[in-house]
Amino acid sequence: MMLLFVYVFGGAIETGTDNYVNYLLPGILLMAIASGVAYVAYRLFLDKQRGIIERFNSMPIARSTMLWGHVLTSVVSNVISIAVIILVALAMGFRSSAGILPWLAVAGILVLFTLALTWIAAIAGLSAKTVEGASAFSYPLIFLPFISSAFVPTESMPAVVRAFAENQPVTSIVETIRALLSNQPVGNDIWVALAWCLGILIVAYAFAVRAYNRHSAQ
Amino acid sequence: MEKAIEVKGLQKAFKGKEVLKGVDLEVKRGEIFALLGANGAGKTTMVRILATLLKPDGGNAFVNGVEVASQPEKVRHAISLTGQFAAVDEVLTGRENLIMIAKLRHLEQPRQAADDLLKRFGLTDAADRKPSTYSGGMRRRLDIALSLVGKPKIIFLDEPTTGLDPEARIEVWKIVKELADGGTTIFLTTQYLEEAEQLADRIAILHEGRIIAGGTLAELKKRFPPSEGRVCGKTADVRGNLPRHHRQKGGHLNGNGKKPLFQRYGRHARTFHAPYFPQRGHDLHGLRHADRDDAAVRVRLRRRDRDRYG
Ligand SMILES: Nc1ncnc2c1ncn2[C@@H]1O[C@H](COP(=O)(O)OP(=O)(O)OP(=O)(O)O)[C@@H](O)[C@H]1O
Ligand SMILES: [Mg+2]
């Protein structure tokens, strides 16, 4: 996916950055996470359908064990795929002048973003009626980066699209990561990004737990 | 404590639809108890309530001497559930499935426990494959093995053999008997009288939300004289006595599009799986019982039935 973007669009898009891989990386990372969490929805759906959730709930263990198990698995596997993508990016010419602290900040934001999306995935998996339904939720998520500053600067977009792009979570997250990695001042974006991630995380968590309880006890 | 399970006046409705209308039953320690009922009778609902997955609307249920609704945590320490569909994780291998449950149950040697169960259930060779490569019988065995991790005192088996071929079914029966010999209390549900007969020390029949008959097999047979599970008589009689929605045109009638409800042999017909579902003198399909003398319809129970019609 990364290769495709860099070589097909790379020449065409004027970004004002000399290294387009640097420009793209944040968006690619977010897309990878968005498609990665779909797996959680799929697994949870199967667990629900096969009665594995019921088995767990009739065992003497905390009710949330099951959900957290899936969520942590998701975070770990996404961290691994992010690491792989960054390695590929390095091989393709990605360079960052950022020090340890900004990198840690980036890692933190990505993990937070993964958690937030994973809980959304959990809602989808628990309330879906079909397998397709369980994974359908991720398409808009994967699509969001396209209408953001992830791949092209928002200045080039028509007014309405631009208004949306500049105010949706992906843009602020992308801008934050981009600024952190290139050692630029991050400004307000980081707070907006954190607020989005935390907000989504809390709301999605509440709904996921509700969906879980509704499923397991009438 | 003599009783493993005690249920009194248990009620449950879903969205106004009454599924259990006051169920009473008792299961003694160490016995195999079979809850017999047709599709949709409420067997799974019953099991889910006893396994702490569902709250009853009314009545009391005690498992291992503990109230299910008020102390589910305590009940969970004593029980294990094998649901109607095999609940195995497809991503893990058979062995990993067992180890996972063993760890969740805080066993000291999860690996050892897994190996023992694999051996006992003849799954050692398949242990490192994923369940998606298993046959139906093997999946069910793994499923039951998962329920035995940690040696629970009481085991619920919801239709353990539905969907299995005859060979696999006999394997499961063997497992269940061995379990009971080891002192485990077993509560199983089934749609098949034959299964209840084979396995159970005591049987209860759940029909329209109530236990309509219960006791040992011998007691049930006394109350509802044996007919080898069949009723036969003149075609017109048998047919005329079916509930209206089963009275279709043509010779071969299908109960609900699945198994034929009765089959014709010339002027005679034979019903399948008829008795043992008495309700106001009728069995589930609305056929009158032979011991109920009805002049209009002479449905005769024949022991010779099998010799004559195969
Ligand atoms: N969660 C639910 N919401 C609404 N109705 C339900 C629910 N669970 C069960 N029912 C209804 O309750 C009735 C009894 O269902 P149950 O699953 O207990 O039957 P069963 O005896 O296990 O049948 P089967 O042999 O098909 O497994 C059915 O009519 C079913 O549609
Ligand atoms: Mg059922």
Q: How many CB atoms lie within 10 A of CB B226?
A: 12
Average pLDDT, chain A: 84
Q: How far is B152 from chain A (nearest CA, A)?
A: 10
pLDDT at A162: 87
* Residue B204 to residue B1: CA distance in whole angstroms: 22
Which residues have C-beta under 5 Å from ligand 2, the single-atom ion?
B 43-44, 84
Residues of A in contact with B51 (CB under 8 A): 54, 58
CB contact under 8 A, B104 and A59: yes
- In this prediction the pTM is 0.75
Q: Residue A3 — very low, low, confident or very high, per pLDDT cuts 50/70/90?
A: low
Q: Is the CB of B37 under 6 A from ligand 1?
A: yes
Cα-Cα-Cα-Cα torsion B301, B302, B306, B309, nearest 10 degrees, comes to -90
Residue at A170: amino acid letter: V
- CB pairs A-B closer than 8 Å: 55
Does residue A7 carry a pLDDT above 60? no
Does residue A148 carry a pLDDT above 60? yes
pLDDT single digits (tens) B116-152: 999 988 899 999 999 999 988 899 999 999 999 988 9
CB contact under 8 A, A58 and B105: no
* Half-sphere exposure at residue B304, Cβ-oriented, CA atoms within 13 angstroms: 3
CB contact under 8 A, B52 and A50: no
Mean pLDDT by runs of 10 across the 310 residues of chain B is 86 89 91 88 91 90 91 90 87 93 91 93 92 89 92 92 82 90 92 82 86 78 48 51 44 39 46 38 37 30 33
Q: Residue A212 — very low, low, confident or very high, per pLDDT cuts 50/70/90?
A: confident
Give the number of the ligand closest to the Cα of residue B207. Answer: 1
ipTM of the complex as predicted = 0.75
CB contact under 8 A, A218 and B87: no
pLDDT at B143: 93
Q: How far is B56 from chain A (nearest CA, A)?
A: 9
State the residue for tokens 């066993």.
Answer: B107
Q: How far is the CA of B37 from the centre of ligand 2 (A)?
A: 9
Residues of A in contact with B72 (CB under 8 A): none
Does residue A4 carry a pLDDT above 70? no
Q: Residue A50 — very low, low, confident or very high, per pLDDT cuts 50/70/90?
A: confident
Structure tokens that stand for A158 in this block: 């028509």
pLDDT single digits (tens) B3-34: 899 999 999 998 888 889 999 999 999 999 99
| CATH number of B3-221, picked from 2.40.50.140, 3.30.428.10, 3.40.50.300, 3.30.470.10 | 3.40.50.300
Q: Pick the range with the lowest mean pLDDT from A5-19, A20-34, A160-174, B212-226.
A: A5-19
pLDDT at A134: 84
Question: Please, where are the H alpha helices in chain B?
Answer: 43-50, 72-78, 94-104, 110-120, 136-148, 166-181, 193-199, 217-223, 235-240, 305-309
Of chain A, the percentage scoring pLDDT greater than 90 comes to 23
Q: Which one has a higher pLDDT value, A218 or B25? A: B25
Question: With an 8 Å Cβ cutoff, is A54 touching chain B?
Answer: yes
Interface of B with A (CB under 8 A): 14, 48, 51-55, 73, 76-77, 79-81, 83-91, 101, 104-105, 146-147
Average pLDDT over residues A182-207: 89
CA A111 vs CA A186, A198, B218: distances in Å: 18, 11, 64
Quote the distance between the C-alpha of residue A170 and its chain's center: 9
Q: Which one has a higher pLDDT value, A62 or A19? A: A62
Phi–psi pair at B106, nearest 5 degrees: 60, 40
Per-domain residue ranges of chain B:
3-221, 244-303
